[in-house]
């Protein structure tokens, strides 16, 4: 009889862990509290407009290709566009820059638009490429908490480059030291938000994200971001994984230091191992009550949250692309507000994502589906109704000014999400999107491991554990879980 694995949560980290464990021969069941699969990677249709509700920037699509291949499916089982432009940037002085991907293009654009030295940009992007490839096998694709994972040949490559990572300076300090124009620095600093951190506090090491964003450029799945969770869900079902939606797990059962099953409101299920893909805080707070929680890890500062407006806009705006940023004038103040005073400024940086630029079916003819997001602090009980109304007014004023049109007139359908909703829909502590923030040089070491050191058979995947936030890292967490399970269950 095959061993049983239970996954709690059907986010991309849970789905991919399930697929990997089923390929190891486990009989896998995925429990999901919601009535839909995919966690934050889900989609909604309002009127004639389709919106991705959560993530919009998709890097490292090869991590999905890998799962497709693992399941023996043809490469076109999951299809995506490789975007030529990484993003369009709008500055408060009226300058607009379309940033194409690739070292050559980026260097030329930084030279023409911002007066940066061509070779300096090339050297920077090259350094990020090598930093990324050195760091990846040690800090991203392996457990930091199992000696044998990181103690191999890759560690030497990673250690040799130690002085080049910028561990002792912040991302902003690293960028200011290389580039002379504050606008170039602002573009690079922005990438700290890809895991919900502040560029004025996160280490320069995080600049490796610019390799993915600027050198390789984002991808966009055919059918929108939701195609990621749909693909994983299909792979899971075809591998015999069963789903139990609308069935939140309320407790993890254990005996003699070993996991033996889980309990929902309606039943108890036995198993050989559990992977928790839900927020690690709630795993301890709600499912392992009274069990010694790793307080120091759980008490780390949280990553930011977001306010998103989903607007069906009955007009096309040619100056906008798939990804667009309208920068705040005072970027540093914005991060102080997010992480210190935990409020919203009247001039936030605005991100507009429009899938209908490529996926024509996402909006009616002549219209566009706008996903308009601003970073927000975590929920500590602020007056969100008031902040939401103010933010909506502020961003409508700003976008209207930048595009020279009264945008509100064109909004045909509308919905929104905020830190309260993110918290209650996906059960993420205080609405934080990426678990702990990376606002310190040692943040990576204060993320929860992918396995429990105290309970045999308990594993963790998803953004709140190692290696961190974002779809690619959640997919990597599942790879690490697979490796740990193979070691613990002595599977070749
Ligand atoms: C607005 C927004 C924008 C984002 N933008 C990006 C982006 O551009 N690029 C990017 O890479 N990432 C982005 N992210 C983050 C990205 O969505 C996450 O990194 C990724 O989807 C998280 O996957 P996960 O595996 O951690 O699980 P989650 O998606 O968090 O799913 C966890 C699942 O567990 C379920 N669950 C919780 N408790 C229980 C329980 N007790 N029993 C059963 N089920 C339970 C929840 O219902 C949920 O479905 C964004 C997120 C948001 C909200």
Q: What is the pLDDT of residues 322-354, one digit of tens each?
A: 999 999 999 999 999 999 999 999 999 999 999
**Residues of the chain with pLDDT > 90: what percent?**
89
Q: Does the residue 87 lie in any domain?
A: no
Place of tokens 């089923």: 22
Same domain, 209 and 238: no
Q: How far apart are CA 251 and CA 265, in angstroms?
A: 9
One domain, residues 475 and 459:
yes
> Does the residue 313 lie in any domain?
no
Q: Are residues 453 and 475 in the same domain?
A: yes
Q: What is the mean pLDDT of residues 255-279?
A: 98
Q: Whose CA is nearest to atom 36 of ligand 1?
A: 9
Distance 411 CA to ligand 1 centre (A): 28
Share of residues in the chain with pLDDT > 70 (%): 100
Q: Tens digit of pLDDT for each residue in 353-382? A: 999 999 999 999 999 999 999 999 999 999
The whole model's pTM is what? 0.97
CA 462 to ligand 1 centroid distance, Å: 8
Is residue 15 within 8 Å of 474, Cβ to Cβ?
A: no
Q: Mean pLDDT over residues 297-322, rounded?
A: 96
Instruction: Specify the pLDDT at position 160.
Output: 77
First to last CA, the chain: 18
pLDDT at 154: 75
Q: Determine, yes or no, domain membership for 432.
A: no
Give residue 150's pLDDT: 73
Q: Is the pLDDT of residue 94 over 70?
A: yes
**Which pLDDT score is estimated for 440?**
86
pLDDT above 80: residue 151: no
SS3 assignment for 38-93 = CCCCCEEEECCEEEECCCCCECCCHHHHHHHHHCCCCHHHCCEEECCEEEEEECCC
Residue nearest to atom 21 of ligand 1 (CA): 40
Supply the residue whose CA is at minimum distance from atom 33 of ligand 1: 9
| Of 441 and 449, more confident | 449
What Cα–Cα distance (Å) separates residue 14 from each residue in 170, 236, 481?
32, 10, 10
pLDDT digits over 178-210, tens only? 999 999 999 999 999 999 999 999 999 999 999
Ligand 1 centre distance from Cα of residue 57 (Å): 14
Same domain flag for 30 and 68: yes
Cα(485) to ligand 1 centroid in Å equals 23
**Is the predicted pLDDT of residue 157 greater than 70, yes or no?**
yes
State yes or no: pLDDT of 242 exceeds 80.
Answer: yes
Check residue 1 and give its pLDDT.
66
What is the span of the domain harbouring residue 475? Answer: 4-42+55-80+223-299+439-488
Task: Report which protein residue has its CA nearest ligand 1's atom 7.
Answer: 55
Give residue 232 CA to ligand 1 midpoint distance, Å.
14
Q: How confident is the model at residue 490 (pLDDT cuts 50, 70, 90)?
A: very high
- Same domain? For 177 and 233 the reply is no
Same domain? 197 vs 249 = no
Q: Residue 120 domain-assigned?
A: yes
Average pLDDT, the chain: 95
Q: State the distance from the centre of ligand 1 to the C-alpha of 39, rounded, in angstroms.
A: 5
Nearest CA to ligand 1 atom 2: 54
Question: Mean of the pLDDT values across residues 76-85?
Answer: 97
Average pLDDT over residues 428-453: 91
- Residues with C-beta less than 6 Å from any ligand 1 atom: 8-14, 31-34, 39-41, 54-57, 248-249, 277-278, 306, 308, 422, 426-428, 433, 462-463, 469-471, 474
């Amino acid at each position: 009889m095959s061993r049983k694995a239970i996954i709690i949560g059907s986010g991309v980290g849970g789905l991919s862990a399930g697929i990997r464990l089923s390929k190891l021969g486990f009989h896998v069941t995925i429990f999901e509290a919601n009535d839909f699969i995919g966690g934050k990677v889900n989609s909604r249709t309002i009127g004639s407009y389709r919106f991705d509700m959560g993530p919009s920037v998709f890097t490292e699509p090869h991590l999905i290709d890998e799962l497709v291949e693992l399941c023996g499916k043809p490469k076109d089982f999951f299809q995506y566009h490789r975007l030529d432009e990484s993003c369009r940037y709008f500055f408060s002085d009226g300058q607009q820059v379309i940033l194409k991907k690739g070292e050559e293009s980026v260097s030329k654009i930084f030279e023409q638009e911002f007066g940066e030295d061509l070779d300096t940009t090339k050297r920077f992007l090259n350094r990020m490429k090598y930093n990324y490839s050195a760091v990846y096998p040690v800090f991203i694709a392996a457990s930091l908490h199992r000696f044998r994972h990181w103690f191999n040949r890759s560690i030497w490559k990673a250690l040799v480059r130690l002085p080049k990572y910028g561990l002792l300076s912040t991302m902003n300090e690293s960028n200011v030291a290389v580039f002379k124009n504050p606008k170039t620095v602002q573009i690079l600093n922005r990438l700290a938000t890809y895991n919900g951190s502040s560029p004025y506090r996160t280490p320069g090491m995080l600049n490796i994200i610019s390799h993915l964003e600027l050198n390789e450029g984002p991808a966009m799945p055919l059918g929108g971001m939701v195609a990621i969770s749909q693909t994983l869900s299909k792979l899971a079902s075809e591998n015999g994984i069963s789903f139990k939606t609308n069935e939140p797990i309320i407790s993890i059962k254990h005996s003699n230091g070993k996991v033996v099953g889980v309990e929902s409101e309606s039943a108890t299920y036995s198993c050989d191992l559990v992977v928790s893909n839900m927020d690690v805080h709630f795993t301890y707070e709600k499912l392992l009550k009274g069990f010694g929680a790793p307080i120091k890890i759980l008490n780390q500062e949280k990553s930011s949250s977001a306010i998103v407006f989903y607007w069906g806009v009955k007009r096309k705006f040619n100056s906008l692309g798939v990804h667009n940023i309208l920068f705040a004038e005072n970027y540093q103040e914005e991060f102080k507000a997010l992480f210190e005073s935990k409020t919203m400024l009247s001039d936030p940086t605005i991100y507009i994502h429009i899938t209908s630029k490529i996926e024509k079916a996402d909006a009616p003819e002549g219209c566009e589906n706008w996903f308009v997001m601003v970073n927000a602090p975590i929920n500590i009980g602020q007056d969100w109704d008031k902040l939401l109304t103010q933010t909506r007014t502020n961003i409508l004023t700003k976008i209207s000014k930048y595009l020279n049109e009264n945008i509100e007139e064109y909004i045909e359908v509308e919905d929104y999400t905020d830190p309260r909703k993110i918290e209650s829909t996906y059960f993420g502590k205080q609405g934080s999107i990426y678990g702990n923030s990376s606002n310190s040089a040692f943040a990576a070491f204060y993320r929860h491991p992918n396995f429990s050191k105290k309970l045999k058979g308990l594993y963790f995947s998803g953004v709140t554990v190692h290696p961190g936030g974002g779809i690619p890292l959640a997919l990597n967490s599942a790879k690490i879980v697979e490796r740990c399970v193979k070691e613990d269950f002595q599977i070749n």
